[in-house]
Chain A
Amino acid sequence: MSEKKNLLLKLFLSTLYLSAFTFGGGYVIVTLMRKKFVSEYHWIDENEMLDLVAIAQSAPGAIAVNGAIVVGYKLAGIIGIIVSVTATILPPFIIISIISVFYSFFRENIFVALMLEGMQSGVGAVIASVVFEMAAGVLKERKITLVIIMLISFIVTYFFNINVIYVILVCIGIGLIQTFMRKKVDEK
């Protein structure tokens, strides 16, 4: 019993630490989780961790949260999930709560307002550069269907304001049909 308590405590503290100090999004945090739980604690073996990361990346939702769920589940079942997810969302929850209290207060300040205005251009540039990189990754696959999906999705979401949920559902549908047909071909 006390051994399990010890494991849960260690799980809580390590995910809390990773979540509080990892800048740069889900992919970074998952890499750090691997380092911690595979190389440092030897709780999970390397191959299994690769698959767990794949699960975290394929399921919907934030990758950091999904990573915490798979690791927590693997180590201690449902209670493990509760512990690791709580530890993961606590730091951003506290930080953003504090910021949102001060936000409306500071937004009136001319200096802060100018800073944020300039940063709008900056964040636009960050998103644009991410999009270029991701789009290059899609083009590299050299599949015309993927390019067409990309163009149509952009047109319908930007110009026609179609709810993005429908775009996602249609793409999952196309993916299911393709996978199903490929499996049938493989069977023959």
Chain B
Amino acid sequence: MIYIQLFISFLQIGLFSFGGGYAAMPLIQNQVVNLHHWLSLSEFTDLITISQMTPGPIAINSATFVGEKIAGVPGAIVATLGCIMPSIIIVTIIAYFYMKYRDLDSLQSVLKTLRPAVVAMIASAGVSILVTAFFGESGLIVMKNLKIQMVVIFVICMVLLMKFKMSPVFVMILAGILNVMQYFLLSSLSLGTL
């Protein structure tokens, strides 16, 4: 049953994504792309891009997007509920004990060990997104598949983000525009030489 599958998949995403922001991304990729093949890697990348440009957490956005695609509006609702269920239970329990004992130190020191792993997992998801961007959906890393223009756009974006601290949304839109420009520029050039 597809609803149960959606629910359980997003339940796992909700249960194991610690640290907010991008932490849910590797889990979503694992469930939605690798295990269930609900999205291809480039659809998944589109989803992350859309999530960046709209308000709302990546996990909720993904639950809605994937649920809708696989099983319509009921699918979206089921996936979203699965995604928030662990939070509601766990956060309520922690909040209850906090109001009683007011001790959060042990919890936070346990989570400290988790941080480097979360960074590594985000890095791993990021690398697979870049491999698709540079070499196409096949994921085969061979020089003849390399899209040079994508590497150039990537380098420009890195400079704008790291050196000039520009806003991610702006940089992403710029990346899209650069790709459109180079496409029409190159195709008009090759038409000119004919």
Contacts and interface: CB of A to CB of B under 8 A. Distances in A.
Interface of A: 19-23, 25-27, 51-52, 54-66, 69-70, 73-74, 78, 81, 85, 89, 91-93, 95-97, 99-101, 103, 107, 111, 114-132, 134-135, 137-138, 145-147, 149-154, 157-158, 161, 163-165, 167-168, 171-172, 174-176, 178-179, 182-183
Q: How large is the interface on B (under 10, 10 to 19, 20 to 34, 35 or more residues)?
A: 35 or more
B113 interface: yes
Contacts, number: 334
Contacts of B87: 59-62, 65-66, 69
Contacts of A111: 180
A112 to B, nearest CB: 9
B90 A60 contact: yes
Interface of B: 12, 14-22, 24-27, 30, 34, 42, 45-46, 48-50, 52-61, 64-65, 68-69, 73, 76, 80, 83-84, 86-88, 90-92, 94-95, 98, 102, 104, 106-130, 132-134, 150-151, 153-154, 157-158, 161-162, 168-169, 171-180, 183
Given A91-B56, A134-B115, 14 more contacts: A22-B55, A59-B94, A62-B57, A65-B57, A89-B84, A96-B61, A99-B65, A114-B183, A120-B133, A125-B157, A131-B123, A149-B120, A167-B120, A179-B109
Given A128-B126, A154-B123, A171-B117, A61 B84 contact: yes
B123 A60 contact: no
> In terms of DSSP, what is the predominant structure of the interface of chain B?
helix
Contacts of B18: 58-60, 168
Given A120-B150, A158-B128, A60 B15 contact: yes
23 contacts: A27-B20, A60-B16, A62-B84, A70-B91, A73-B91, A74-B95, A91-B55, A92-B55, A92-B61, A97-B64, A114-B179, A118-B175, A120-B132, A121-B133, A123-B45, A130-B22, A138-B115, A149-B113, A150-B116, A161-B34, A168-B18, A175-B112, A175-B113
